[in-house]
Amino acid sequence: MRVVEISAFGKPEVLRLAERPQPKPGPGEALIRVRASGVNRPDVLQRKGHYPPPPGASDLPGLEVAGVIEAGDPAALAEAGFKVGDRVCALVAGGGYAEYCIAPVAQCLPVPEGLSDAQAASLPETFFTVWSNVFDRGRLQAGETLLVQGGTSGIGVTAIQLARAFGATVIATAGSAQKCQACLELGASHAIDYKQQDFTAECLRLTQGKGVDVILDIVAGDYVTREVECLAEDGRLLIIAVQGGSKSSFDASLVLRRRLVITGSTLRPRPVAFKGAIARALREHVWPLIAAGKIRPVVYRTFPAEQAAQAHALMESNQHIGKIVLTW
């Protein structure tokens, strides 16, 4: 089978097409004939040598795929309501940049009606991540306010739509007027151009001094200082990436006085049972909203798999709005 592998750590050009044997599914697993593979920021970090796959995972990049079930554990497939030939999308711990990919059946979801393979491949990584952090860890409730840092990232476009669908008010940050407008079109009530405005001051102004209830942060670094300042009482800060650096300082007295929670997580190394629980929640609560058109995939551009280097270069340019997808 054709795959895209990391020939050496470095620039996008280190990604190359190669041939590898087709993998075989084990207990609890499905073999997916991949039609499309989502591209995510962790893939870029892995390509640079900064995010190794967890033990037992494929060394190939790629954390989400969409395609057709080719084979698998019959009992596990039946229990999940799948059969050979079904269209699915799946979250995987690696190996997504390939024509065939092994996925735990528990982490597979049916492709919502009406979606293309590329659209379906854009769903798992960000939807699993946002649901697990914003709703499970962050306990976002209807009527609360969510601040989304990086509103036009793959995570951002998902968080805006999910929070809005479940009754929250969304404030998003983005780096241009065009991107701010995209956030508003996706359902954010307010968009802040972080290059022109102080997001802390704007959040306090927009909430009449109360602050926001939940923050989804992909930046960290010196953002944490300002985020603590614009959280409401009993506010929750969720750090899921450190694009701005891993070192932060903040006024700890605000954490005490306002009873703040600062937490974070990574999804990739978590066990199948944990991810399977997220999949079941998504299938029950979110997939019907996608099928009904109330939440939509946002695919900025697709590339043939042999152009994976160009896809990574686009991601690193930060010019995209939404997801980038490889097709096979």
DSSP result, 181-219: HHHHHHT-SEEEETTTS-HHHHHHHHTTTS-EEEEEES-
- Residue 218: what pLDDT? 95
- Residue 117: what pLDDT? 98
Confidence label for 182 from pLDDT (cuts 50, 70 and 90): very high
Q: What integer best gives the mean pLDDT of the chain?
A: 97
Helix axes 177-186, 154-165, angle to 10 degrees: 40
Torsion sign, CA atoms 94, 2, 25, 77 = positive
Domains detected in the chain: 2-123+269-327 (3.90.180.10), 127-264 (3.40.50.720)
Count the Cβ atoms, other than its own, within 10 Å of residue 236: 23
Q: Which two tokens stand for residue 169?
A: 């008010």
- Residue 257: what pLDDT? 97
What kind and span of H or E run contains 180?
Answer: helix 177-186
Average pLDDT over residues 123-130: 98
Q: Which two tokens stand for residue 111?
A: 């492709």
Alpha-carbon span 39 to 303, nearest angstrom: 10
- Residue 320: what pLDDT? 96
- Residue 128: what pLDDT? 98
- Number of DSSP helices (H) and strands (E) in the chain, helices first: 12, 15
Q: Where do we find the tokens 């097409």?
A: 17
Alpha-carbon span 119 to 38, nearest angstrom: 9
Share of the chain above pLDDT 90, in %: 100
Average pLDDT over residues 118-123: 98
Q: Using one digit for the tens of pLDDT, what is the confidence trace for 241-272?
A: 999 998 999 999 999 999 999 999 999 999 99
Contact call for residues 127 and 93 (beta carbons, < 8 A) = no
Confidence label for 288 from pLDDT (cuts 50, 70 and 90): very high
**Which whole-number Å values give the CA distances from 83 to 75, 78, 237, in the listed order?**
10, 7, 41
